[in-house]
Amino acid sequence: LFTYSCKNCKSVFPSLWSEGRTNCPTCNKFSATLPNTQNAIDDSILANVINTFSIYIQYSALEGFGMPLIEDGSCAVPVMSTDYSAMEDVTRKLRGIPLKVAKYYKEAETGRDFALPDENHFVEELYKFLNLPESLRKKKGFDARKAVEKYYTWKRSCQQWEKIIDETNNSENSWNNHGRHIKIDHTFLNNPNI
């Protein structure tokens, strides 16, 4: 299922994949697209969409600090993700289910390491989760919500930035430090053999 948002009447609705643009069932115009920065949906509607999930699965090979794990945890939805990169830390903090990595590979263009999740482990963990009583699945969601409130608040983020800035101001790397001056021998520039 995909979420579509109508540019004409602003209706938001779920649908099986219908290309990037489709007919809106509310206004019957060919103006519904997948939400994006140009056609965003309201946060409260996004929260309603997320709350339809039994679990959020970030089956990704590489991720910096992506917001979906936090967004879903905020909505009391349990999370599962590849045990790699920032996902590894966030999933554990949200008391989610880390997915084993089957193997790593290096991207030739950038040299970045990617992690391929172990599909057998994923199926086992998802099966176990879906067979839990509903009360335990909900508890895992509430635990994720509590963890978001503990680790991922604006106040905590601001405190971390304040600490980093204060430490920077009190060190040799301070904003006010003019740095070391290094004399460079430029005579090599006149060498015709280089």
**What pLDDT does residue 23 have?**
95
pLDDT band at 38 (very low <50, low <70, confident <90, very high): confident
Average pLDDT, the chain: 88
Ramachandran quadrant class, 102 (left: phi over 0; alpha: psi -120 to 50; beta: rest) = alpha
**What pLDDT does residue 97 have?**
97
Sign of CA dihedral 85, 90, 95, 96: negative
**What pLDDT does residue 179 have?**
59
Is residue 75 a contact partner of residue 94, using CB atoms and an 8 Å limit? no
Among 48-52, 109-113, 164-168, the minimum mean pLDDT is found in 164-168
pLDDT band at 53 (very low <50, low <70, confident <90, very high): very high
Structure tokens at 150: 């503990």
- Whether the per-residue pLDDT at 87 is higher than 60: the answer is yes
Structure tokens at 103: 């193997």
pLDDT band at 181 (very low <50, low <70, confident <90, very high): low
Is residue 146 a contact partner of residue 75, using CB atoms and an 8 Å limit? no
**What pLDDT does residue 65 have?**
83
Burial (CB < 10 A; 0-12, 13-18, 19+), residue 167, is exposed
Structure tokens at 111: 């040299």
**What pLDDT does residue 6 have?**
94
Instruction: Give the separation between CA 74 and CA 89, rounded to whole angstroms.
Output: 16
**What pLDDT does residue 164 have?**
82
**What pLDDT does residue 82 have?**
95
C-alpha distances in Å from residue 27, one per residue of 18, 36, 44: 17, 20, 22
Q: What radius of gyration, in Å, describes the C-alpha atoms of the chain?
A: 24
Burial (CB < 10 A; 0-12, 13-18, 19+), residue 187, is exposed
Among 11-15, 113-117, 130-134, 160-164, the minimum mean pLDDT is found in 160-164
Instruction: Give the separation between CA 81 and CA 84, rounded to whole angstroms.
Output: 8
**What pLDDT does residue 165 have?**
81
